[in-house]
Amino acid sequence: MTTPLDAYWMPFTANRQFKSAPRLVSKAEGMHFTTPEGRQVLDGVAGLWCVNAGHARPRIVQAIQAQAAELDFAPPFQMAHPKVFELAERLVQLTPSGLDKVFFTNSGSESVETALKMALAYHRVRGEGQRTRLIGRERGYHGVNFGGISVGGMVANRKMFGPMLGGVDHLRHTHDPVRNAFTRGQPEHGAELADDLERLIALHDASTIAAVIVEPLAGSTGVLVPPRGYLQRLRSICDKHGILLIFDEVITGFGRLGSPFAANHLGVTPDLMTVAKGLTNGCVPMGAVFAQRFIHDAFMTGPEHLIEFFHGYTYSGHPLACAAALATLDTYAEEGLLTRASDMAATFEAAVHSLAGLPNVLDVRNMGLVGGIELAPIPGEPGKRAFAVFLDCWEHGVLVRNTGDTIALSPPLIIEPHHIDQIIGTLAQAITRAA
């Protein structure tokens, strides 16, 4: 007997299309999913940018099982358990220096809300409570909660939901196919787009602006690689005006570009940094916000028996998530996975750019183990061509991701050259068939 599909309202899914031809996976190991019929599907997207060490890694599985039996839950407010401190200490060894305080959440979206609230409250506790404005960027994705969609810049994620947060503005996006199409790695052109922050400062005055949030490499909007020098310039403008810089590293964190974080990789240190996904290898929901010590310390005033920051979640630092994260960090360390994308980047880059001459390919973008192949939309039917490519790849045993008319690739960091060949070969055939 098969289970009816009716009751489940699926997230970010074309529900009617899915239910007419469901795509189910029921097992996973290493680089592959298995469908209920026993078909193997190569995972070209690390689940959803999260299974960085590959699926069902024994150390992580065992850690979660053991933790569930030992301590299933510990209250996180005014109480704690040992592993949450151990995890925090381990994590700050990986971050750029200064980012040495960690606040735990359960998702990327919650990390974003937490970082935005930290930025606002930080200015307030140090007597600059008029700094309430938050600046995001066009085409940015920062999850789906109200703060995140307010600073985010993806129209479909915003237009249904009313006025959102007040006092938000947006930088111009950095996508410039006229000057940068088919660039390998970071584009040469576009550092000056960071000066758009000066325009917003001239409009609003720096004294009203709390923080700027950007993804160092924008994923969900179709893989936008930062132009050379862009993030450095944003950093120096923020410094000049006392504005906090937040990096949303929910997809770039934990080795995606070839260093533990994009901040290490690109040599730009933000004031706050959000992560999730690869933190637990996708096994147990968990997110985190890293804060510069000076931000944390600004809160540590007033009577010692009082709560300093009125924020947190029932499941902040959940024991199962901590156990999964510690075992994930061990796996990353043992196998050198946080820098493996650097070793694989040249092979991956060559393979992804081999798609350049295929029909309707408008642009190919890449960095570390991230690839984006932008296709020409079918006139009047945006997104349909990339969706057809996604379905075709799935039917031929490879999972890719479509966002708009871009195909995004973000494979597990354990990927080997023959997997790259299979992903690119399958994708090439699908793109050709979708012409």
Ligand X SMILES: Cc1ncc(COP(=O)(O)O)c(C=O)c1O
CB nearer ligand X, residue 115 or residue 298: 115
Distance of CA 408 to the CA centre of its chain: 13
Of 142 and 365, the one with the shorter C-beta distance to ligand X is 142
Count the Cβ atoms, other than its own, within 10 Å of residue 72: 10
Rank residues 219 and 258 by Cβ distance to ligand X and give the closer one.
Answer: 219
Are the C-beta atoms of 152 and 141 separated by less than 8 Å?
yes
Q: Pick the stretch among 104-112, 164-172, 254-262, 391-399 that binds ligand X (CB under 6 A).
A: 104-112
Q: Which stretch binds ligand X (CB under 6 A): 65-73, 139-147, 231-239, 377-385?
A: 139-147
Centre a 10 Å sphere on the Cβ of residue 132 and count the other Cβ atoms it contains.
17
- Among residues 51, 87, 94, 112, which is the contact residue for ligand X, using CB under 6 A? 112
Show the site string, 231-270: x = touches ligand X by CB under 6 A, - = not. Answer: -----------------x-xx-------------------
Instruction: Return the number of the residue (135 or 430) whose C-beta is nearest ligand X.
Output: 135
* Contact pick of 219, 270, 368, 371 for ligand X (by CB under 6 A): 219
The closest residue (CB) to ligand X is 108
Pick from 326, 329, 143: nearest CA to 254: 329
Distant-in-sequence, close-in-space partners of 163: CB < 8 Å, separation ≥ 6: none
Q: Find tokens 């570390």 and name the residue.
A: 368
Please name the amino acid found at residue 36: P
Q: How far is the CB of 372 from ligand X (least distance, A)?
A: 13
User: Measured from the CB atom, is 157 or 426 closer to ligand X?
Assistant: 157
Q: Which two tokens stand for residue 233?
A: 């310039």
Shortest CB 79 distance to ligand X, Å: 25
- How many residues touch ligand X (CB under 6 A)? 14
Q: How far is the CB of 143 from ligand X (least distance, A)?
A: 3
Output 220 or 331, the one with its CB closest to ligand X: 220
Residue 279's nearest CA partner among 104, 68, 110 is 104
Least separation in angstroms between residue 416's CB and ligand X is 25
Question: Which of residues 33, 104, 122, 141 is near ligand X by CB under 6 A?
Answer: 141
Which helix H or strand E contains 43, and what residues bound it?
strand 40-43
Interaction of residue 180 with ligand X, rule CB under 6 A? no
94 vs 276, which CB is nearer to ligand X?
276
Q: Tell me how crowded residue 339 is: count the other CB atoms within 10 A of its CB.
A: 16
416 vs 44, 141, 255, 341, 420, CA distance in Å? 12, 29, 16, 11, 7
Binding of ligand X at residue 276 (CB under 6 A)? yes
**Which structure tokens are listed for 195?**
């000066």
Q: How far is the CB of 196 from ligand X (least distance, A)?
A: 20
Is 215 a binding residue for ligand X by CB under 6 A? The answer is yes
Selected binder of ligand X within 32, 81, 142, 419 (CB under 6 A):
142
SS3 track for 254-289: CCCCCCCCHHHHHCCCCCEEEECHHHHCCCCCCEEE
DSSP character string of 219-256: -TTT-BPPPTTHHHHHHHHHHHHT-EEEEE-TTTTTTT
Q: Quick one: 50 or 323, whose CB is closer to ligand X?
A: 50
Closest to ligand X by CB, 244 vs 361, is 244
Helix axes 417-433, 384-395, angle to 10 degrees: 130
Least distance in angstroms from the C-beta of 252 to ligand X: 8
Q: Does 107 bind ligand X (CB under 6 A)?
A: yes
CA distance 246 to 213: 5
Residue range at the interface with ligand X (CB under 6 A); choices 101-109, 192-200, 405-413, 425-433? 101-109
Toward ligand X, which CB reaches closer, 219 or 358?
Answer: 219
Distance of closest approach, residue 109 Cβ to ligand X, in angstroms: 3
| Separation of alpha carbons 126 and 300, rounded Å | 11
| Helices 340-353 and 417-433: angle between axes, nearest 10 degrees | 30
Residue 397 to residue 387: CA distance in whole angstroms? 15
Identified binder of ligand X from the candidate list 52, 67, 95, 109, rule CB under 6 A = 109
Interacting residue ranges for ligand X, rule: CB under 6 A: 107-109, 112, 141-143, 215, 219-220, 248, 250-251, 276
